[in-house]
Every structure is written in C-alpha cells, then in structure tokens.
Amino acid sequence: MTYQVKIEIFEGPLDLLLHLIQKNDLDIYDIPISKITSEYLSYLEFLKDLNLNVAGEFLVMAATLMQIKAQTLLPVDGSEGTEDGPDPRADLVQKLLEYQKFKEVSKLLDAKMEAQRHIHYRGAPVFDQADQTLDVSLSSLLDAFSSVLDTARADVREILVEEIPVEVKIREVMNILEGKEFLLFSELFPKGGSKRILVITFLAVLELIRLKQIRVTQTSMMGEIHIQRVSEPQPVLVPAME
C-alpha cells in the first residue's frame, strides 16, 4: 500500500492558479488560457504522482479551464454590425482578483500574529529584529522539488522495486539533521538519484513539516532553501516600562 500524504499545499484551485500566474509572471487581466490550462493540468498530475491528495474542487476548476479554452477557440462571428461577445475569462479573472486581495490581507494578519507569538508583554512592546529568515511556502518547496526531479535518473521497472517506507526516510532525515544548525534542501537530493527515492525523501520532508518537526527557510527571496530541526522556543518576556 502506498503512503498517502495529506497536507494542504494549495488552499484551493484559485490559490494554485494564482501561484502559476505569479510564477510565470503573467498578466492577471489577460491570462493566456491555453498556457495556464496546460500548466494547471500538469501540476495536478504532479501532485497525484507524489500521492498528494487532490480534492474534487481542483478537478472542477480543471473542467472550467478546459471549457473556457474551448470557448476562446471558437470562431468569432465576423458579420457586419456584430461585436465580440463577453470575454469568457472575465468571471475567472474577477474571482482571482478578489481572492488575491483576501490572500494579501491574510498574509498581513499572519505576519502580525507570528511577530507576537511567544511574547508576553509587560508594558510597551519591544520587537526583536534579529531573525531575518523567511519561511518558505509549500508551493515554492514544490517548485524546488520539481527542478530536482529534472535531474533524476529513470528507474527501469521502478514500479516493481520494493519501496522504502516513508517512516524510515523520516528517521533518516532527522538523523541527518541531528547536531546540525541547518541542511541545504539540495543536499537531501543528490543529482542523478533514483526518482522513486527522491519522491519518498520529499514526502518525508512534507510529513515532517506537517508534524512541525522541521522548518524550511530562506535568507532571501531566491536564496537556497534551508532545512532545520524545530526546537521549542522559549517565551520572550518584555520588561515593564519604568
């Protein structure tokens, strides 16, 4: 029986679409529907290959994209006195814009909550600016792993090969991190490795993130991804103002 990892990488189909638009630097007001549909379907297949749960709403959006794509391919009536009909993408664009606004507000609220976690106030607040790391989103982690798979070797009849249990790989990852400040994401995935082993290692990383046993960070937006063990932080007591 294959190991199923249930972890929410994308909050919904709109989240995945917005990620693909931003990743490819596309104009949200003029979405190339053919390109975005192909990428969306490829991503769904990628998630399924990783044994990640794909909810029915993602499949509904796939059908919607294909319907919009079909509409855009229909010939336009060129008879005199007629105008082009409404853009079939208009409703989708409006939903994406609304979702983007809510997502930005959500990120702002999350950042405020994170800044005050483990801080007990006595009087005026004082904030520590020493930690300059950025938490890596799971979607960005997925993109990084997609690049890793490009270097994997194809296993012959790999479906018949006995799989290493993800539980075993989880222990291996934690043992590698033992005593280290951090480990580079790329160091877990050697180039030319078996695709199946790479996938199992990545599933172990996702499960450890879900269990809050590791944290993945970057020191800059496009920097190397760091993996580190999570230690329980101590509350920061802010002294009262005299």
Q: What is the DSSP-derived secondary structure letter of residue 121? A: -
CA 171 to chain centre: 23
CA atoms of 227 and 136, how far apart (whole Å): 10
pLDDT of residue 17: 92
Domain spans, the chain: 10-76+87-117, 127-235
Among 2-6, 13-17, 37-41, 135-139, where is mean pLDDT lowest? 2-6
DSSP 144-203: HHHHHHTTPBPPTTGGGSPPPPHHHHHHHHHHHHTT-S-EEGGGGS-TT-BHHHHHHHHH
DSSP 192-203: T-BHHHHHHHHH
Say yes or no to pLDDT of 240 above 60. no
Which residue, 90, 98, 91, is CA-closest to 12?
Answer: 98
- For the chain, give the number of residues: 242
CATH superfamily of domain region 127-235? Structural maintenance of chromosome 1. Chain E (1.10.10.580)
Which residue, 240, 242, 237, 241, is CA-closest to 128?
Answer: 237
- pLDDT, one tens digit per residue, over 182-236 is 899 888 887 777 888 888 888 889 889 888 899 888 877 667 888 989 875 444 4
* Rg, the chain, Cα only: 22
CA atoms of 46 and 118, how far apart (whole Å): 37
- pLDDT, one tens digit per residue, over 38-94 is 999 988 888 877 767 677 888 899 999 999 999 888 776 654 444 566 889 999 999
